Structure 1
Amino acid sequence: MARRAGRSRGRGAVTVRIDGIARLRDRMHELGPDIIEALARAVKESAEAVRDETARTVPRAGGHLAETVDIQYEDGGLAAKVGWSDPTSYYAHFVEHGTRRAPAQPSLGPALEAERARYTARLSDEVRRALR
């Protein structure tokens, strides 16, 4: 479902990636457009849930992380990266993972874990609706 992105490409980027078709990528040509749209809806719902929960729980003191958590969609909406990619949010990594002097105050990780349990159900529900 989701995985934490490795080291950031851009300075300060902290993201997770939510894939809607990891196991189906090789068989996409067999799926109808209704199923693909259903998968994209489920990915969007999950990405928005992770974004909203992260924004709700991120520490507010001294920053603007709640306002800059973002979603970037890829693969026609079948994959999403959720997190901070804005260069002014470079410190999100330090807040999320902590430093020698400051304890970690994670918000993205817990939001991802909370959504992980709902993600499969979202996918199944959307596909069932599309098949009706």
Structure 2
Amino acid sequence: MAGRRGGIHVRIDGIARLRQRLEDLEPQIVEALQKAVKESAEAVRDETARTVPVDRSGRDSHHLADTVAIRYDDNGLAAEVGWFNSASYYARFVEHGTRHTPAQPSLGPALDLERTRYMRRLTDEVRAVLR
């Protein structure tokens, strides 16, 4: 559609209806979704911590295993897993490598491992509420 000043505008119908439907969800379903997100985020965090590279002494790369963390957003319906403190800036170099050091990923493989489990977790949690 052309706007009044020659611009192009697009209207997307249904967003308000979608927001309302999300707000109308039973609290138990929202709680089930939050539980699934939390379980998956914790699984990624734990697998990442378990597989972070260690040096010959058995210590991880500057304690990356201890600093991998989770941040929740959207009322617990979304999560980020990774290293968020400035002291762990080098995690990106361990994960992706540098010109001089090969990548030793732990976060990426943990995410890949959880990816298929995540959908099953969501489905199982919602089905349990609907029964």
Shorter chain as denominator, the TM-score bin is 0.7 to 0.9
For each residue in 1:5-51, what CA deviation from the matched residue of structure 2 results, as whole angstroms up to 9, or x when unmatched?
A: xxxxxxxxxxxxxxxxxxx7674123111100000000000000000
Residues 26-35 or 63-72, more deviating: 26-35
Which of 24, 32, 46 aligns to 1:30? It is 24
CA contact (8 A) 1:60 1:66 kept: no
Q: Considering fraction of residues, name the structure with more helix.
A: 2
2: distance between equivalents of 1:57 and 1:85?
18
CA-CA distance at 1:60 after TM superposition: 2.5
CA offset digits 1:53-82 (Å, max 9, x no partner): 000000123411000000011111111010
TM-score, length basis structure 2: 0.79
1:95 deviation in Å?
Answer: 0.2
CA distance in 1, matches of 2:78, 2:129: 19
Aligned residues: 109
Structure 1 gap segments, 5+ residues each: 1-23
In the alignment, what sits opposite 2:48? Answer: 54
Task: Give 2:58's aligned residue.
Answer: none
1:82 equivalent to 2:81? Answer: yes
Which one is further off, 55-64 or 80-89?
55-64
Whole-angstrom distance in 1 between the partners of 2:49 and 2:19: 31
Deviation at 1:130, TM superposition (A): 1.1
Do the aligned partners of residues 89 and 25 (structure 1) sit closer, same or farther apart at CA in structure 2, a change above 3 Å counting?
A: farther
Please report the TM-score for the alignment, with normalisation by the length of structure 1.
0.78
Greater gyration radius: 2
Once residues 43 and 25 of structure 1 are traced to their aligned partners in structure 2, the CA distance between those partners, rounded to angstroms, is 20
Output the CA distance in 2 between the equivalents of 1:131 and 1:35: 8
CA RMSD of aligned residues (A): 1.4
> Counterpart of 1:40?
34
The structure-2 alpha-carbon separation of the partners of 1:104 and 1:25, relative to structure 1 and needing over 3 Å to count, comes to farther
Runs of 4+ in 1 over 6 A off after TM superposition: none
Q: Which runs of 5+ in 2 are unaligned?
A: 1-17, 56-60
- The structure with the largest strand share of the pair is 1
Question: Highest relative contact order (Cα 8 Å, sep 6+), 1 or 2?
Answer: 1
